[in-house]
Chain A
Amino acid sequence: MRLLSEAIAAFGEAQADSTKLLDVVARRVAGVVRDTAVVMLSTQSGDLGVAAAYDEDDAVIEDLLASLADAPSSLAREEFLASGKPLLLPQLDLDALAANMSPALHACFRRRGVYGMIVAPMRVRGQSVGLIAVLRHRAFDRALEQLDADLVQDLATHAGLAIANARLTERVRDGDAVRAAREEVMRANRFLDAVIENLPDMVFVKDATRLAFTRFNRAGEQLLGIPRSQLLGKTDYDFFPESEAEFFQKKDRETLKSRTLVDIPEEPIQTVHGQRWLRTKKVPILDEHGEPLYLLGISEDITDRKRTDAELRRAKEQAERVSKELEAFSYSVAHDLRAPLRGIDGFSQALLDDYGDQLDARAKRYLGLVREGAQRMAVLIDDLLALSRVTRQELVMRTVDLSALAQTAVANLQRLDPSRKVEVVIEPDLTARGDARMLAIALDNLFGNAWKFTSKVPDAKIELFATDREGQRAFAVRDNGAGFDMQYVNKLFGVFQRLHTETEFPGTGIGLATVARIIYRHEGQVAAEGAPGKGATFYFTLGAESS
């Protein structure tokens, strides 16, 4: 009795796991009746299958399982299972049973000397769950009695309940898992939906056969101006001009046929907002056999970019045209504007040479002024051409020896004006990154200015040195000449701006503008300091140098 209640308690504990429970049942039953115990369960198809078996001798179990393998149902009949009553066969007549048993099982019974058997059906709520069979063989000499049968039936009833409960628990647990899996799939779907929905590009999916829309995102709705409720289930022909729809579907079919991504760099599309341009990528979505199921399309609206590109291209073409015209203009200026000046100057001189004796002093002076005007204009033209050249010419950047360029500038000035005595102090080895020819023009201008504006002071001095301005390396050209009023400093670098009269100091007012333009093209800055009668200092930085 104690064994029985222990066994029942053990069934309860093992309920959580049906496989474990069946082992426990077989073991406990065998323990209670001290026999071979076999637990068989009804399978889904209604057949019986061995679920667990126990005997103290493993060899017996192996033998038994092997012989049951061919015909597991041969231990019991349907009608018996339905009866709910245990079957007690204390003395088996194996010879008589031979016709009703599978030959393998019959041989096994004979081998193992099985002489008694109890078969107890397991039923729960009127449903057959399986059975428990107890086989008595020669290991025990006591014949099976009714008491044994009742005991096994009792165990079978409890085991059946426990098994049913265990199955129910498992089914509930499986149900939870299915639900959890379904939720996980839904969560993943919702995530993907949100991603697709919020992508800035139009995303659509069409089925592979009809090419009808099965999915559409918000960016697509906005682009086309059509809600997805109208789009889904329809095809391109329902919304776009025939030629467009034809093109879209042609590309769809290409994609599905090639089974690879197709990139359409530009395609026009008629929308309610007017014509737009798309860059579309189409991707086939294949089933597990590699057959196309869907077509995924991702379209980027490139209308604005296309427009910007076109505008940029137009602007560039225009700039090139202007630049070419400017070039032609400069060329014409260089050639054609000087010839008339040569005529004015030359024939004024011819008058002086050939008719000088017929002219009075005033007439001669006038002719002199005509010549002067012509020559001044020639200088002006040259300066303007130089200014336009420094604007147009491409920079060739390399390391430039500014000290050497300054020396050359001074040597040229001295050659043209050999009588001038000027103290020139050039800091040696000043180098910077820049365009050598442009920087030479800048230094020629700066030194030319300094040379000019120191022409009226004794002990004229011009210096070039490197210095620091607001944490940046700067170069300075300083002179002790006429200087200027800081009030007008902003005018210094403008074209045609002059702070001195032509009679004080001749000039065209283009030199410093040229310097500024050269320095700006080097991404540098120009600055000037000075005071009337106290000289001037011109600073420049070369921004390109630091970058």
Chain B
Amino acid sequence: MSERVILLVEDNPSDEELTLRALKKSNILNRVVVVRDGAEALDWLFRQNAYAERSQDEVAQVVLLDLKLPKIDGLGVLRAIRADPRTKLMPVVVLTSSIQEQDVVASYGFGANSYVRKPVDFTQFVDAVRQLGLYWLVINQPVPT
């Protein structure tokens, strides 16, 4: 039996903690795996380098992907996910600060399933995360593994 986790790709520790807090407040109980740059995200997803020994049973049910990341940026991660047969159908939600048009267009262009802006107002942030979790972890029917 595989474990469905949330993969949170986030380099800002404050945002990381707020996101985890918002998930908890929204009563989302799935385990959250946090990786802090694009390269680490790909290592985790493809079980390589530091994550070569990771259990195959852990499956990301949704990737919450920031765009501005060290090493490989969010769009690079997204492209790699879509290019690999193992992950190309994986739901990816871009969760970021910017609603710069070029970011939104590029994200959808590279195959993001959803694009959500992190609100500054924490109340709104919690609300957004709650709806995301509800949709992608409960309502949405995932690809069979």
Contact = CB atoms under 8 A, between A and B. Distances in A.
Interface centre among A335, A342, A348, A371 (most CB of B within 10 A): A342
A227 interface: no
B97 A343 contact: no
Given A335-B67, A338-B120, A346 B97 contact: no
Contacts of A249: none
A342 B98 contact: no
B18 A335 contact: no
A460 B110 CA distance: 47
Nearest to B101: A389
B24 to A, nearest CB: 11
Interface in A9-63: none
A375 B98 contact: no
Contacts of B88: none
B123 A335 contact: no
Interface in B95-113: 96-101
What class of interface size applies to chain A in its complex with B?
20 to 34
A350 interface: yes
B100 A342 contact: no
A334 interface: yes
B12 A349 contact: no
A336 interface: yes
Contact of B14 (A346, A374, A375, A389): A346
Nearest to B11: A339
Interface in A319-358: 330-331, 334-336, 338-343, 345-350
A342 B118 contact: yes
Interface in A402-419: none
Given A334-B98, A374-B120, A342 B14 contact: yes
A345 B97 contact: no
Contacts of A375: 120-121
B96 A342 contact: no
Nearest to A342: B120
A188 B48 CA distance: 92
B68 A345 contact: no
B122 interface: yes
B3 interface: no
A308 B14 CA distance: 53
A378 interface: yes
B125 interface: yes
A346 B98 contact: no
Interface in B61-76: 67-68
Contact of B15 (A331, A343, A349, A350): A343
B14 to A, nearest CB: 4
Nearest to A377: B120
Contacts of A350: 21, 122
Contacts of A346: 14, 18, 21, 122, 125
A345 B122 contact: yes
B122 A335 contact: no
B125 A336 contact: no
B100 A341 contact: no
Contacts of B12: 339
A387 to B, nearest CB: 14
Contact of A378 (B18, B21, B98, B120): B120
Interface in B110-131: 118-123, 125
Contacts of B68: 335-336
Contacts of A341: 120
A374 B18 CA distance: 15
B125 to A, nearest CB: 7
Interface in A355-395: 371, 374-375, 378, 385, 389
Given A343-B15, A346-B18, A335 B96 contact: yes
A329 to B, nearest CB: 12
Interface in B20-77: 21, 67-68
B67 A342 contact: no
Contacts of B14: 339-340, 342-343, 346-347
A330 B125 contact: no
A401 to B, nearest CB: 22
A331 B21 CA distance: 27
A385 B98 CA distance: 10
A423 B64 CA distance: 44
Q: Which 9 A-B pairs have the closest CB atoms?
A: A378-B120, A343-B14, A346-B122, A334-B98, A349-B122, A346-B18, A338-B97, A335-B68, A341-B120
Given A339-B97, A342-B118, A342-B120, 4 more contacts: A346-B14, A347-B14, A349-B123, A378-B120
21 contacts: A331-B98, A334-B98, A334-B99, A334-B100, A336-B97, A339-B15, A340-B14, A341-B120, A342-B118, A342-B119, A342-B125, A345-B120, A346-B18, A347-B18, A348-B122, A350-B21, A371-B121, A374-B120, A375-B120, A378-B120, A389-B101
Interface of A: 330-331, 334-336, 338-343, 345-350, 371, 374-375, 378, 385, 389
